Amino acid sequence: MTTLINVDNTPRGPEARERWCSEQLEEGNILFFPETPFELPENDREFLLSQQQSGAAYHKNIAYRPRQDRLTGFSKHGREDQERLRAIMRAYSGSVTQFLSALLPQYAGAWRLDFASFRPQEEQGRQLRLRARNDLLHVDSFPTRPTQGDRILRIFTNINPTQPRVWLTTETFEGLAQSFLGPGGAAEALSQRAKSTKSSGGLGRALVKLGCALGLPVADSSPYDDLMLAFHHFLKENREFQETCPKTRWEFPPGSTWIAFTDMVSHAVLAGQFALEHTYIVSGSALVLPHKAPVSILESLIGHPLANQWAEGSRQ
Ligand code: SIN
Ligand code: FE
């Protein structure tokens, strides 16, 4: 089961601290900072808190793409507000990345900056389609951004001045994979189902490869990504699991920050409004416990490689 690790109690010295933090994260724990550990100007926080929901229910949040300096999901507001929000998200992306790079330099040397997001909607009672619901326990897999076995590292900050953000966790990916994907489990069936229902199977996959070769922005997923996405859906659709699995409830107070590999830490958000989040895709080469990575766990359960690139390029 996932536990919360208060970073105030880490070993001293940057190297021992980095090693310890990496191990905690890779084992499936959450690193917790009671206070925001990076610069977030009060004016920016106030502006974010004044933003109303964007209205369009299909937008789960407002996303910022740091590599393109682009904002999406912000539909209803004037140009001036959009520019201000973009500037705030740009500054947030810069300062949170600087903080995380100092804490975890080995990851930072081998990560790709993914999206940042601002989450202005109240999570309790949100009406989303089942697979998009975040109040059901799951491990993350992004259909539009396959990782080829690399890891999804995310940092969250609750900027709500009065209300906590409430999460549930259950067993980590390791335990879930053993329960559901172990001998006699559903892994192969899930993998096959994923391939036959997604558009990048068969001829589709050949086209995706061609698109990649031509430099087009198409997602090239590996069998690992297909399986992780199928597992994400499987967990959300599994009512018995959702109702009966052992759960731990976490309340992240106003101003606190937490970090997790969300492809390893199962999670559901039950309540809370106004959070900032940033995602990094960490290469397998930077892990201190590569045998704990979901791709390694799946490959040893299934008995064959699922992400060749990762196996050849990243693992020692
Ligand atoms: C998620 O399920 O990935 C989102 C969690 C959150 O917004 O707190
Ligand atoms: Fe998630």
pLDDT in tens, 62-96: 999 999 999 988 766 677 888 999 999 999 999 99
Query: Over the stretch 149-163, which tens digit does the pLDDT of each residue have?
Result: 999 999 999 999 999
Q: What is the pLDDT of residues 1-24, one digit of tens each?
A: 999 999 887 778 889 999 999 999
Give yes or no for residue 140 CB within 6 A of ligand 1.
Answer: yes
Residue 316 scores a pLDDT above 80? no
Ligand 1 centroid to residue 7 C-alpha, Å: 21
Angle, helices 294-302 vs 223-237, to 10°: value is 90
134 close to ligand 1 (CB < 6 Angstrom): yes
Q: Determine if residue 167 is left, alpha or beta; phi over 0 gives left, psi from -120 to 50 gives alpha, anything else beta.
A: beta
Cα–ligand 1 centroid distance for 77 (angstroms): 24
Question: What's the confidence (pLDDT) of residue 172?
Answer: 98
CB distance 172 to 266 below 8 Å? yes
Evaluate if residue 192 carries a pLDDT over 80.
Answer: no
Domain of 228 in residue numbering reads as: 4-315
Domains: count for the chain: 1
Backbone angles phi, psi at 27, to 5 degrees: -80, -10
| Highest mean pLDDT (candidates 141-145, 176-180, 184-188, 254-258) | 254-258
Tell the residue nearest (CA) to atom 7 of ligand 1. Answer: 269
Ligand 1 atom at minimal distance to the Cα of residue 154: 3
Q: Which two tokens stand for residue 273?
A: 């409004």
pLDDT of residue 11: 77
Q: What is the mean pLDDT of the chain?
A: 88
Helices (H), 198-238: 203-213, 223-237
Find, among 167, 154, 169, 163, the residue nearest to 274 by Cα.
163
Q: Any idea what the CATH number is for the domain that residue 83 is in?
A: 2.60.120
Whether residue 57 is predicted with pLDDT greater than 90 in this model: the reply is no
Q: Determine which residue's CA is closest to atom 2 belonging to ligand 1.
A: 134
Q: Average pLDDT of 285-299?
A: 96
Ligand 1 center–CA 117 separation, angstroms: 10
Highest mean pLDDT among 52-56, 126-130, 283-287, 308-312: 283-287
Q: Is the pLDDT of residue 202 over 60?
A: no
Asked whether the predicted pLDDT for residue 138 surpasses 70, the reply is yes
Taking the C-alpha atoms of residue 6 and residue 18, their distance in angstroms, rounded to an integer, is 14
Task: Judge contact between 252 and 164, C-beta under 8 A.
Answer: yes
Quote the tokens at residue 147.
């990782």
Helix (H) or strand (E) holding 114: strand 111-119
- The rounded percent of the chain whose pLDDT value lies above 90 is 69
